[in-house]
Structure 1
Amino acid sequence: MNVPRAVHTATSLGDGRVLVAGGFTNPANAAQGAEIFHSMTGRFSTLPRMVTLRHSHTATLLPNGKVLIAGGYLAGTETTASSELFDPAKNTFAPTGPMVASRAGHVAVLLENGKVLIAGGIGPEWSFLSNAELYDPATGTFSATGGMAVQRESHVAVRLQDGRVLVAGGHRGRRADITLHASAEVYDAATGAFKRVGDMRTRRHKHDGVVLNDGRVLVTGGADERDSDGVYDTTELFDVKTETFIPGAPMKLPRYKHNGTATVLPNGVVLLAGGAAQAETYDPVRNVFAIVSGTPRMAGQFSASARLSGGHVLITGGYGYGTGPRASAWLYRP
């Protein structure tokens, strides 16, 4: 990439390009804007300046092809309610919104009705949020919707095959006052409300989750209250029919700070390319993990991934192993 980044986003635009936006070069400063990866050339090109430089935000591809970029930190611990749209036809950014609440470290999921659910995160002055809101691309506005049962940050959210959204884990509070969650809940767009489902087997935050081709949800890694001293190699599977979690196979490597980097490949195998020094794959049929060859010393933490055509996956930036954010990028070919 042209700029080192961590806690950024990578969004496949569906035309062989990937939008890489925001992030930080150090925690006090948001990275300089955005760039585009061109799969035809394997190169990155710098885009015009974003409306707002930000990190720990979300980026969601909308049905109209634009990308909604929402919230995040501006600098240090200052959160923002601002949002903007990237237009891939013009390669430009324009304001939209703002959100109902200022937040960072939240989750965003595209619903079947074309709206975007945004939930949780951190608000001003380290306030942890349980509230949620919806973005309507037709009006360019956000509106409040039903809130979660608990305050969550560093949680995961995925859209299930039945259209509901599963939210699991995360934490509230910080340092000595941190509380981790094993709880999970689902959001139903038809009712605009969350409801509790079975708890995860393990309290975890800074983990990842992805929907498998058979409809189950694979939850991987994360950490306990000790953070880097308590990283998990454990996984679990959410069964949509019973709304419960069962233990999954252990990963080859403990990994955390990898939210959003799990990618389902065309053959149903899952690539885990974040949170550890090497990537690995998960085969849901055999219920086994395997290390991917040729991936030593990847920038494991807070990297961002995007799937391209043909099952190729772009992995960008991140940091770890005593280094700051990196400008490195990798291309996985199955």
Structure 2
Amino acid sequence: MGRSINGWTSSARGGIAKGRARSPGWKAGVAALGLLSACGPWEARYEVKLLTGTCSAIPALEGARYLRFRVTGADMEPVERYVPVDQGTAALPIVPPGKGRVLEVRGYTDLPRMGGRLVALGRSRSFEVPESAGEARPTVSVAVRMVDTYVRPATAQGTCVSLAEPRAAHTATLLDDGRVLLAGGFRTGSEGVDSTVSSAELFDPVTGTVTQVPALGTARAFHTATRLPGGKVLLAGGEMRSVEGALPVRSARVLDVAQGMSTEVELKVARSHHAAAVDSGGRVLLVGGVGAGGAVVAQAEGYDSATGQVFSVSTPVPRVGMAAMPVQDGRRIAVVGGSDGAELRPEVLFFSFEGGSFVPVGEGARLREPRRDAALVPFGGLERLLYVGGYDSAGDVAEARVLASSELVSPGAAVQVSPGPQVFARSGLCAVALPDGRVMTLGGVRYGAGGLVSDPHVELLVPGQNGAATALLGLKPLDPSRHQHSCTVLDDGSVLIAGGQGEDGSRGTTLGDLVIYTPVPLD
């Protein structure tokens, strides 16, 4: 039952017998490291395909001497096994049958108990181990990448992967199947004129492939993308850019990627630079933004994914540069920060769906340092929000100060706002919450010698335990610097950074790259 793949042969006893000699630093430029199978007395009833393709000159498993395979599941105790990379004599862990199994693969320079250092990491999507040995074995694919390194993905053939079209101010949405939908945006041409993008594409972080999906119908940038129950995505509003300026978009489109279908929806009002969030019932609240003539939009509205209908919201929210996020298990939606065009708004608003529409609920709180164009992200769990960076001006950013502060919003029975950690001063940054509660902030804009320039800083914020202060770690900077990019936490806990705008104070360049960063885990 042995088979030879990339010079490694999976043995009849489930291990990997060495086919031809290679050092621990062997080149893994192709995507598949091999299939690890299990047979006979070592019955594991699943196979594993390690994908190590990368555009880097350094292989994903460079310096690794041992692989650790660890399988977890809701109804089982974790099981693990170490396999020497240079000998490949051990088998996969034996896993009890059942659904919801997740395999984590780590590459170490030596055994951890001997001081081995983690150099590579990958996690599978959930899979099922069959009850009977006679059933078909699932093949579990795991993309293994170097930790603490920006990696450009590659296909199985070793081809470097980029966006099909450079884009900035686009949206990136993680779908139920683990792929990422990247839609819309704008790009700056050779003459310095911006044009809006109407295309959309899907990136598969496991196989490293990019495929285009049907065009959006209406080109749009600075729109919102909201994942709905059932896996559909609502792309709402935005603006079209041309030599004549920016025109806000009144339409929305519901994409069903799995079925290859889309539906046009007409909104109550045209808006861009707005905020949107979905509650636990699949209803989307859209607030604020910029409308016709550059005016701040006051009218809020909602979209019900169950009926496909747009409905009015009676409470006006005249804001731009704010953020919205579901809280309390999606029973409420928080709206934080922003400007009404004349002054910054310090009120933290909460909405819930009652009587057929969204209504304000509870007594809100006030930001200690009002701001706009900051990033809002869960911090240390779902019941605390971090509002980080931004400008301190309601209007012209040329006269604004870029903030190096953050605030913590705790939306409990009594809403609390408290000072957060100090950060690198920048606005329009990406901020993502990692599965373990840590937060990464990436890129943005700051003031340079020529005016506003793209910022390269990347930070890792670690929540303090038992009242301790937040720890802030500076990570390797982005190269190139960027803003108006997207950052998406993938199923395996790594972060996808896509596109954006590079600005050096004199000209802007629209980026078309894809980069994946895998954080070092806490353990």
Q: Could you say whether these structures have the same fold, taking a TM-score greater than 0.5 normalized by the shorter chain as the test?
A: yes
Is the alpha carbon distance of 1:299 and 1:95 closer, same or farther for their aligned partners in structure 2, counting shifts above 3 Å?
farther
CA contact (8 A) 1:96 1:140 kept: no
Corresponding position of 1:38? 204
Paired amino acid for 1:182: P
SS of structure 1 residue aligned to 2:239: coil
| In 1: Cα distance, 2:299 partner to 2:359 partner | 11
Corresponding position of 2:397? 227
Task: Give 1:249 shift.
Answer: 1.1
More deviation, 102-111/236-245: 236-245
Is the alpha carbon distance of 1:179 and 1:298 closer, same or farther for their aligned partners in structure 2, counting shifts above 3 Å?
farther
Task: Give 1:181 shift.
Answer: 2.2
Corresponding position of 1:303? 485
Task: Give 1:96 shift.
Answer: 2.8
Is the alpha carbon distance of 1:32 and 1:240 closer, same or farther for their aligned partners in structure 2, counting shifts above 3 Å?
closer
Paired amino acid for 1:280: E
More deviation, 300-309/55-64: 300-309
Is the alpha carbon distance of 1:214 and 1:156 closer, same or farther for their aligned partners in structure 2, counting shifts above 3 Å?
closer
User: 1:324 aligned to 2:512?
Assistant: no
More deviation, 224-233/21-30: 224-233
Task: Give 1:292 shift.
Answer: 1.7
Using structure 1 for the length normalisation, give the TM-score: 0.91
| In 2: Cα distance, 1:54 partner to 1:204 partner | 26
Paired amino acid for 1:13: L
More deviation, 36-45/54-63: 36-45
Task: Give 1:298 shift.
Answer: 4.2
Corresponding position of 1:79? 248
SS of structure 2 residue aligned to 1:187: strand
CA contact (8 A) 2:441 2:459 kept: yes
Corresponding position of 1:164? 332
Corresponding position of 2:32? none
User: 1:190 aligned to 2:354?
Assistant: yes
SS of structure 1 residue aligned to 2:293: helix
Once the two structures are superposed, the pairs formed by residues 37-116 of structure 1 within 5 Å of their partners are 37-75=203-241, 76-92=245-261, 94-116=262-284
Gap runs ≥5 in structure 2: 1-162, 445-454
Corresponding position of 1:18? 180
User: 1:287 aligned to 2:470?
Assistant: yes
- Of 221, 226, 249, which aligns to 2:421? 249
**1:244-281 CA-partner distances (Å, limit 9, x unpaired):** 31111101x212112xx322112111111232312211
Task: Give 1:131 shift.
Answer: 1.9
Task: Give 1:105 shift.
Answer: 0.9
Is the alpha carbon distance of 1:53 and 1:100 closer, same or farther for their aligned partners in structure 2, counting shifts above 3 Å?
same
Task: Give 1:133 shift.
Answer: 1.1
Paired amino acid for 1:254: A
Once the two structures are superposed, the pairs formed by residues 115-126 of structure 1 within 5 Å of their partners are 115-126=283-294
Task: Give 1:329 shift.
Answer: 2.0
| In 2: Cα distance, 1:332 partner to 1:14 partner | 21
Task: Give 1:90 shift.
Answer: 3.4
CA contact (8 A) 2:328 2:382 kept: no
Q: What is the number of residues matched between the two proteins?
A: 324
- Of 303, 307, 318, which aligns to 1:135? 303
SS of structure 1 residue aligned to 2:492: helix
Corresponding position of 2:376? 209
| In 2: Cα distance, 1:104 partner to 1:64 partner | 26
| In 2: Cα distance, 1:43 partner to 1:233 partner | 37
Is the alpha carbon distance of 1:296 and 1:49 closer, same or farther for their aligned partners in structure 2, counting shifts above 3 Å?
closer
Is the alpha carbon distance of 1:324 and 1:214 closer, same or farther for their aligned partners in structure 2, counting shifts above 3 Å?
same
Is the alpha carbon distance of 1:296 and 1:304 closer, same or farther for their aligned partners in structure 2, counting shifts above 3 Å?
closer
Paired amino acid for 1:288: A
Task: Give 1:314 shift.
Answer: 0.8
SS of structure 1 residue aligned to 2:310: strand
CA contact (8 A) 1:156 1:169 kept: yes
SS of structure 2 residue aligned to 1:309: coil
CA contact (8 A) 1:23 1:55 kept: yes
| In 2: Cα distance, 1:326 partner to 1:62 partner | 28
RMSD, matched Cα: 1.9
CA contact (8 A) 2:232 2:254 kept: yes
CA contact (8 A) 1:20 1:36 kept: yes
| In 2: Cα distance, 1:2 partner to 1:208 partner | 27
More deviation, 72-81/39-48: 39-48
Gap runs ≥5 in structure 1: none
SS of structure 1 residue aligned to 2:516: strand
| In 1: Cα distance, 2:478 partner to 2:323 partner | 26
Task: Give 1:214 shift.
Answer: 5.4
**1:51-82 CA-partner distances (Å, limit 9, x unpaired):** 21101111111111111111110223211111
SS of structure 1 residue aligned to 2:203: strand
CA contact (8 A) 1:14 1:308 kept: no
| In 1: Cα distance, 2:416 partner to 2:435 partner | 26
Is the alpha carbon distance of 1:146 and 1:298 closer, same or farther for their aligned partners in structure 2, counting shifts above 3 Å?
farther
More deviation, 206-215/50-59: 206-215
SS of structure 2 residue aligned to 1:319: strand
Corresponding position of 1:268? 437
Structure 1 residue runs of 4 or more that deviate by more than 6 Å after TM superposition: none
| In 1: Cα distance, 2:481 partner to 2:299 partner | 32
CA contact (8 A) 1:299 1:326 kept: no
Task: Give 1:194 shift.
Answer: 2.1
| In 1: Cα distance, 2:482 partner to 2:425 partner | 11
CA contact (8 A) 1:216 1:240 kept: yes
Task: Give 1:134 shift.
Answer: 1.2
| In 1: Cα distance, 2:184 partner to 2:288 partner | 20
Identity of aligned residues (%): 31
| In 2: Cα distance, 1:106 partner to 1:269 partner | 26
| In 2: Cα distance, 1:240 partner to 1:267 partner | 20
